[in-house]
Amino acid sequence: MNFSEEIHKIPFVRLTIPLIVGILAQINYSINENFILIYFISTIILLTVTQVFINYIKNLKYTFANDLLKYILILIFGMLLVSISESKLKNLQNQDLSQGLIVAEITENPSLKKKSIKAIINVLAIKTMNGWELSTGKAVVYFEKDSSAFQLKYGDRILINASFSDIEGPKNPEEFNYKRYLSFHLISKQTYIKSGNWKMIDTNMGNPILRKTSSFRNKLINIYSNNNIKDQELAVLSALTLGYKDKLDTETKKTYSASGAMHLLAVSGLHIGIIYLILNYLLLLIPKSKNWKIFKVAFLLVALWFYALMTGLPSSAFRATVMFSLVIIGNALERKPNIYNSLAVSAFILLIINPYSITEVGFQLSYLAVIGIVFFQPKISSLFTAKNKIIQWLWDLISVSIAAQIATAPIAMYYFHQFPNYFLLTNIIVLPTAFLLIYFSLALFIFSLIEPLSLFIAKIEVYILKFLNGSVQFIESLPYSINSNINIDIIQLFSLYLATIFLAIFIVYKKSKMIKYILFCLIAFYMVKAQHYYKSLNQRVFIVYSIKNTSAVNLIYGTKNILFSNQMPDDKTLNFHIKNNWINMGLQNEEVITAEDLENPVKFTSVINKLKQNNIIYKNGIIYFQNLKILLLTDWFKQINMINKYPVDYIVLTNNGPIDIDYLISNFDFKKLIFDSSFPNYKLDKLLKKCKELDLPYHAVSKTGAFISEL
């Protein structure tokens, strides 16, 4: 069978590809909605005329033009979907929510944060000077913790009296674009709501199915808690079986990610498949009459969709549920659905519902993993056949893991900058363990009213969870468990996937020239890598980052990296604001020097020596870096009146240091004042006002973003 015949058997793949192209085009280029409508209507007219013409003359050579117009129409339809979503985002974005009353509805169950309760709301109406006006769009809100806020749930309708602000974009190089991320979820505003500034006006609103499934999930989590499953075990079990991740702490997520087991905590095809297998096995006992067959199909479909909805219906769960639904219906009709077509059907539906799903890492990883498993796993598995069933089962498990990694490793490295080296060992342990946990969880739910039995089942689960968590922690602790700080750009990503596609073509069609193309792709990959390395060796950069309430001055020399900070930044701060920039610049181990290090007489000498090793001199509050002289004003800086002005390039002012602009003008000749982000707004505004009055050059990182000087 040739390629054209094979592609003809998967019509939804042919439809989904132009839909994705249209969605990505509109996301990246934002073409005017009026033009899109004109293109859409024009294409429909052309398609209609072409179809009439073909039917009239009955000449097959014109069908290509007809098919091309169909694909163009779908492409424009994808652009139109994004445009409609953008209009919802812009509607709220253009509203002035700095004051007044707002009626909103909570769109998902709130999550507990360290200092607040976070919720996503859909704004329904806004009170203006002209009265109440209907509105659309979402916002993220943080409620002050109190007894009322703890009672909030999905579907509650509330009246809010608070000032909303726009979500800020990234202020540091390569920083995670939280504003863009939220815009893909149609969220454009945010606020903090104090107790007493909101009140409940209605409950049990929203989608009744989502409300019921969400409530049911909470009841199942309570079953876990009531049977003495708690702490880390409860957090992992809730995420693994029910898709509830709010209880997971940062350390647990980091451990599972580093060991290559993070996919276990996201409900996906693995979880849906296990549920399907268990239920299908139990239903083998029912009679095989026509009526019972219909009952079996209906029961399986309802059960799988109910479970998917209960987990919050992430992309991976939606994809898997659509696929298994097609399998169930196909089996009932004694027809075997094409797996690629089933994948395309689920993607097509999901993208019509929410075109921004294409931007989600979970969506991309989920579909790539299944494509990799479906295509590569049978080929890898056929390389070895064992007579022993256990060994063959183990090999099949290994082949699934390798196949999934072939398809997902490039994009995972692109987004997460790491690769788990022991992913095979991890999957051999965690996949069977996941099956056991889901199986025992179902048993626990069924027998939850029989206390001695439910406690016994829960105790078994706790032992399994301790084994799972311990295994993951052990794998993470092994030497070289993870390759971190991997930096690949978009060109390298496409090079790797082109190489993978050529490999797939070679496997299927045995065309030897594909080997040549694979080598070209790999050469291109390493040429870009070499270019990145050469660039990193020659870089000399001075950066003052914008991190709230933090002073962060970065000196970069080649691959060496020194960060001056008023405090030791935690992992969350580094990962969100700075880490991506360091990885992108090819930097290695960073050295963090805090104000305490510079003040401590014991540490001071070692710090000075460490700086010298990195071609940096520090003396009397001045940093000598390359041809730059940077005065760093910290709280221990001693103001001494000088006879002549001392020339420096930049003066970095911190909230903890002496803030006397008149003194600086009298004693230093400088190019620019740099205000770091440790200042509170009221204090910074006063200082900036004075700088404007004196016509002094300045840069406030909390206002305009990080200051960057490339030498």
94-105 pLDDT, tens digit each: 777 767 788 999
In the beta sheet, which residues pair with residue 668?
A: 646
Which residues pair with residue 157 across a beta bridge? 105, 202
In the DSSP assignment, the letter for residue 578 is I
What does the pLDDT look like over 417-427, one tens digit per residue?
A: 989 999 899 98
Percent of the chain with pLDDT over 90: 34
Mean pLDDT of 9-32: 88
Where does the pLDDT of residue 87 fall: very low under 50, low under 70, confident under 90, or very high at 90 and above? confident
Where along the chain do its domains lie?
Answer: 3-93, 101-206, 211-482, 490-537, 540-710
Residue-level pLDDT at 59: 53
Torsion sign (Cα): 288, 293, 295, 298 = positive
Nearest to 463 by CA among 240, 229, 245, 252: 229
- Average pLDDT, rounded, for the chain: 86
With bands split at pLDDT 50, 70 and 90, how would you rate the model's confidence at 55?
low
Cα separation, 434 vs 432, whole angstroms:
5
10/98: higher pLDDT: 10
Concatenate the DSSP letters of all residues of 357-415 into one string: GGG-HHHHHHHHHHHHHHHHHHHHHTT---SSHHHHHHHHHHHHHHHHHHHHHHHHHHH
Q: What is the pLDDT of residue 390?
A: 86
What is the Cα–Cα distance from 517 to 400, expressed in whole angstroms?
26
Q: Compare 677 and 129 and report the one with higher pLDDT.
A: 677
Q: Look at residue 2 in the predicted model and tell me its pLDDT.
A: 58
Lowest mean pLDDT among 525-534, 572-581, 689-698, 700-709: 572-581
**Residue written as token pair 């350390």:** 251
Q: What confidence score (pLDDT) does residue 39 get?
A: 77
For residues 582-599, average pLDDT: 84
For residue 639, what pLDDT is reported? Answer: 66
Please tell me the predicted confidence (pLDDT) of residue 466. Answer: 93
Mean predicted confidence (pLDDT) in 611-632? 87
pLDDT tens digits along 437-459: 999 999 999 898 888 899 999 99
Report pTM: 0.88
> Has residue 60 got a pLDDT over 80?
no
pLDDT at 12: 85
Does residue 500 carry a pLDDT above 90?
A: yes
Tokens 């049990």 -> residue? 204
Select the more confidently predicted residue: 108 or 94. 108
| Range 288-309 average pLDDT | 85
| Residue 476 near residue 258 (C-beta atoms within 8 A) | yes
Residue 535: both structure tokens together: 């660039």
Q: What is the pLDDT of residue 684?
A: 93
Look at residue 413 in the predicted model and tell me its pLDDT: 93
Res 115: pLDDT: 85
Looking at per-residue pLDDT, the higher value among 570 and 611 belongs to 611
The model's confidence at residue 547, banded by pLDDT at 50, 70 and 90, is very high
Q: Is the pLDDT of residue 493 over 90?
A: yes
What dotted CATH number matches 101-206? 2.40.50
If one compares 670 and 47, the residue with the highest pLDDT of the two is 670
Close Cβ partners of 504 (under 8 Å, ≥ 6 residues apart): 375, 376
Asked if residue 265 lies in contact with residue 245, where contact means CB atoms within 8 angstroms, the answer is yes
Mean of pLDDT values over 564-591: 85
The whole-number average pLDDT for the span 159-188 is: 90
Q: pLDDT band for 708, please (50, 70, 90 cuts).
A: very high
Please state the rounded mean pLDDT for residues 355-367: 89
Mean pLDDT across the stretch 255-269?
83
Neighbouring C-beta atoms of residue 379, cutoff 10 Å: 13
pLDDT of residue 595 exceeding 80, the answer is no
Q: What percent of the chain has pLDDT over 70?
A: 95
Task: Find where tokens 């009952």 sit.
Answer: 295
What local confidence, expressed as pLDDT, does residue 291 receive?
Answer: 79
Q: Which of 32-46, 199-213, 381-395 has the lowest mean pLDDT?
A: 32-46
Write the DSSP symbol of residue 167: P
pLDDT at 274: 84
Task: Determine contact, residues 591/610, Cβ cutoff 8 Å.
Answer: yes
Q: What pLDDT is recorded for position 37?
A: 80
**Percentages of the chain per state (helix, strand, coil), in multiples of 5:** 60, 15, 25
User: Which residue, among 184, 551, 501, 257, has the nearest Cα to 368 in the 3D structure?
Assistant: 501
